Chains A and B, each alone.
Chain A
Amino acid sequence: QSVLTQPPSASGTPGQRVTISCSGSSSNIGSHIVNWYQQIPGTAPKLLIYTNDKRPSGVPDRFSGSKSGTSASLAISGLQSEDESDYYCAAWDDSLNGPVFGGGTRLTVL
């Protein structure tokens, strides 16, 4: 059972906009920023969004992040087939004194 809660799956058709939620508590998302990672199965994760809503160089602006209270969300607009991946949210947790991840969301592009 992960500390941060994500839906296990999400899907959309090419061109659509999809959102992935990440729910936490006051000890993690409520007190700290949220980062998002993209992982193509069989490869290492890649930082996708940092500090809630910032994109590293090279990440398309189709990807956006937001945070409110103890929840965060990742939005992908103009969905493309190459967006099919696993997505993880993460935040520091003061109670556990370390970073915690969501359980991951597998995105399928139909």
Chain B
Amino acid sequence: EVQLVESGGGLVQPGGSLRLSCAASGFRFSSFWMHWVRQSPGKGLEWVSLIYTGGTTTLYADSVKGRFTISRDNAKNTLYLQMNSLRAEDTAVYYCARSGGGTDSGFDSWGPGTLVRVSS
């Protein structure tokens, strides 16, 4: 069974940093593109970042470019999101999701999400 489980969320002050993790199991992690998608309270879904299978190609939404860094450890079946210079508007539930690869692949599995709150 495919499983994705996020961790690392919590309360952080504006300007602070947080590192999210997503533990994957039940599938060949190294064969899938992996994404972070977030959802602010009461709002819709927003794609945050993508990392290709090998980890050398990464893409970011403009809203987080230069502040967030996505990475993966295929040996540990784990996806990461390093979030720096956090702002109030980064408050959201962060989901990790996998896609089959290619720009037209859907997010076919999602984790339950981890809540990040940015507040003083």
User: Which of A33, A39, A44, A99 is the one whose CB lies under 8 Å from B47?
Assistant: A99
A45 touching B110 in the complex, CB below 8 Å, given contacts A88-B44, A98-B61, A104-B45: yes
Q: Are B59 and A97 in contact (CB under 8 A)?
A: yes
B45 lies within 8 A of A45 (CB): yes
Q: A45-B110, A47-B106, A50-B106 are known contacts; what are 14 more A-B pairs with Cβ within 8 Å?
A: A32-B103, A32-B104, A35-B107, A44-B110, A44-B112, A45-B95, A47-B107, A51-B106, A88-B45, A90-B107, A92-B104, A98-B60, A101-B46, A101-B47
Any chain A CB within 8 A of the CB of B62? yes
Interface size class of A (residues with CB under 8 A): 20 to 34
- How far apart are A74's CB and chain B's nearest CB, in angstroms? 13
Residues in A lying within 8 Å of B, measured CB to CB: 2, 32-33, 35, 37, 39, 43-47, 50-51, 56, 88, 90, 92, 96-104
Are B44 and A47 neighbours in the complex by a CB distance under 8 Å?
no
> A16 CB to closest chain B CB, in angstroms?
25
